[in-house]
Every structure is written in structure tokens, then in C-alpha cells.
Amino acid sequence: MIRVLLVDDQALLRAGVRMILENADDMEVVGEADDGAVAAAMVAETVPDVVLMDIRMPDVDGVEATRRIRTAMPDGPKILILTTFDLDEYVYSGLRAGASGFILKDTLAPDLLSAIRAVARGDAIVAPAVTRRLIERHIGGRGDPLPRTEVELRVLTEREREVLELIARGLSNAEIAGRLFLTEGTVKGHVSRILAKLELRDRVQAVVFAYECGLVRAGSTS
């Protein structure tokens, strides 16, 4: 069973989502919270696999709650952000804080369940093109790369840097394999080593990292 904690300040939305999840054979709602601070505290008590996190809440928002959960439990539950708009101004911050992706509040029930299952098994469910738009919007035009990430980038081999750059440009493993004349299995191995060396949780975090360290520049397409 996938244990899910629901976090949203709208009781009606929580009730609707709970109904959808309780009708799934492989999911269990272990708790509800209407505020980010309450949610962060409840994680240790309820031990969810996935936190379905609203991003806009009146007191502690979803970004800060995500940050608190990640700080207290680095290997804790996966966090899936709920947002109203696909370019919500807070989504980039949420991804950077450690969320595994985001979905829209008008997502259909089957897609919601698929997204929860995906993050529960360790996948990131944000489409690369959407992730890129978010990052370009929030990093575009910024100054020099972050010194810390510049140093961290040096732990990668030249091939791993190539793979990371293509991940950041929105290519799938199959597309990267075609571009670099590698097998898809080899690309998967490179991706796993990149995440391990840089201590990143998933591909979304890898895309954020690539932009922040200057490996890929906002607006570039080559």
C-alpha cells in the first residue's frame, strides 16, 4: 500500500482527493493537514510514502513545508506538489526544496493516481519541457553560477556532463542514447551515477542543478 498524506487548506478538495485515493486498491490516506507546519509535524507521526502538498496556503506554504520535511527527513517521503497553474510562481522553489514534481489541481483521477504511484517508486513526474519553462522563468537572466555547484560539477566525467546537459534540455533516456550513440541501458547507468555523485534525488533536481551551475543557460536550445 502507498501511504499518502493530504495537505491542502481547502477541506472540499481534500475530501475529493481522499475519495479518489480510497477507491484505489493500492493506496491509503494516513492523514490530512490544512497547513504546511502541521504537515511537517505529521510526517514523523504518520510515516507516509507520498505527501500530496498544496503549494499555496495562508500560513506555512508548501515550499517551506517541503523544505522542513527534507531537512528533518532527507530520505523521507516523496513530495508531490499540487498547484492551480502549470507556471505557478512557487513551483520552481518547491522543486528546488526537494519535491519530486508537481501536478495540476484539475488533473483527472486516473492521472492523479498514476502520478502518486510514479513518485512513490522514485520517479519524477514533471514533464521535462514544463520543468525547463519553470527554470528559465526563474533563473533566466541571473548572474554567475553558484560557486558551490561549480565545484560539485567537477566530480562528473566528461560523458556524465554531456548526459546531464541533455537531461536539462528535456531529452529522455532514449533520446539521449540516440544523440550520443549509446544504449539506453548505458544512459540509465550514467543518470544513476550523476544523481549519486551530486547527491540529487531525481531528474528534476538534476535539471535544476544543471541550470544553477551554468552547464545550461536559460533560453539556449542547441
Task: Read off the pLDDT band of 86 (50, 70, 90).
Answer: low
Mean pLDDT value across residues 69-87: 85
Q: For every residue of the chain, which 3-state class applies, written as one string? A: CEEEEEECCCHHHHHHHHHHHHCCCCEEEEEEECCHHHHHHHHHHHCCCEEEEECCCCCCCHHHHHHHHHHHCCCCCEEEEEECCCCCCCHHHHHHHCCCEEEECCCCHHHHHHHHHHHHCCCCCCCHHHHHHHHHHHHCCCCCCCHHHHHHHCCCCHHHHHHHHHHHCCCCHHHHHHHHCCCHHHHHHHHHHHHHHHCCCCHHHHHHHHHHCCCCCCCCCC
Task: Read off the pLDDT band of 211 (50, 70, 90).
Answer: confident
Task: Read off the pLDDT band of 106 (50, 70, 90).
Answer: confident
pLDDT exceeds cutoff 90 at 140: no
Which part of the chain has CATH 3.40.50.2300?
2-126, 137-212
> C-alpha distances in angstroms, 145 versus 47, 135, 152, 215?
37, 14, 12, 9
**Does 145 or 150 have the greater pLDDT score?**
150
* pLDDT at residue 97, rounded to an integer: 86
**Does 61 or 104 have the greater pLDDT score?**
61
pLDDT exceeds cutoff 60 at 83: yes
Domain 2-126 bears CATH identifier 3.40.190.10: no
The hierarchical CATH code for the domain 137-212 is 3.40.50.2300
Q: For the chain, what percent of residues have pLDDT higher than 90? A: 51
pLDDT exceeds cutoff 60 at 36: yes
* pLDDT at residue 190, rounded to an integer: 96
pLDDT exceeds cutoff 50 at 186: yes
pTM of the model: 0.72
Average pLDDT, the chain: 85
**CA–CA separation, 109 vs 159, rounded Å?**
40
